[in-house]
């Protein structure tokens, strides 16, 4: 259902899952301390990933 409305242009989904898991579907070790929660490096990666999206949105609005 989410992708259905995305296709209609109501919003865009941000796929964070693919940014934090390896080929086996487990969290990338460098982004977690316990396999569940993000580490400081994980949060840095998240912020960096989102900054690129925000920049694209800001450039689009100009």
User: Three-state secondary structure along 6-44?
Assistant: HHCCCCCCCCCHHHHECCCCCECHHHECCCCCECHHHHH
Q: Which two tokens stand for residue 23?
A: 């080929």
Looking at residue 61, its pLDDT comes to 61
Q: What total number of domains does the chain contain?
A: 1
Q: Which two tokens stand for residue 1?
A: 């259902």
Looking at residue 3, its pLDDT comes to 80
> What is the span of the domain harbouring residue 23?
2-61
Looking at residue 37, its pLDDT comes to 97
pLDDT in tens, the chain (62 residues): 778 888 887 788 899 999 999 999 999 999 999 999 999 999 999 999 999 988 888 886 66
Residue with tokens 């912020």: 47
Looking at residue 62, its pLDDT comes to 62
Distance CA(22)–CA(13), nearest Å, equals: 20
């Amino acid at each position: 259902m989410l992708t259905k409305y995305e296709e209609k242009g109501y919003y865009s989904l941000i796929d964070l899952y693919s940014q934090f898991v390896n080929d086996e579907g487990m969290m990338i070790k460098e982004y977690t301390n316990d396999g569940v929660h993000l580490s400081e490096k994980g949060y840095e990666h998240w912020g960096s990933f989102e900054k690129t999206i925000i920049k694209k949105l800001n450039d689009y609005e100009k």
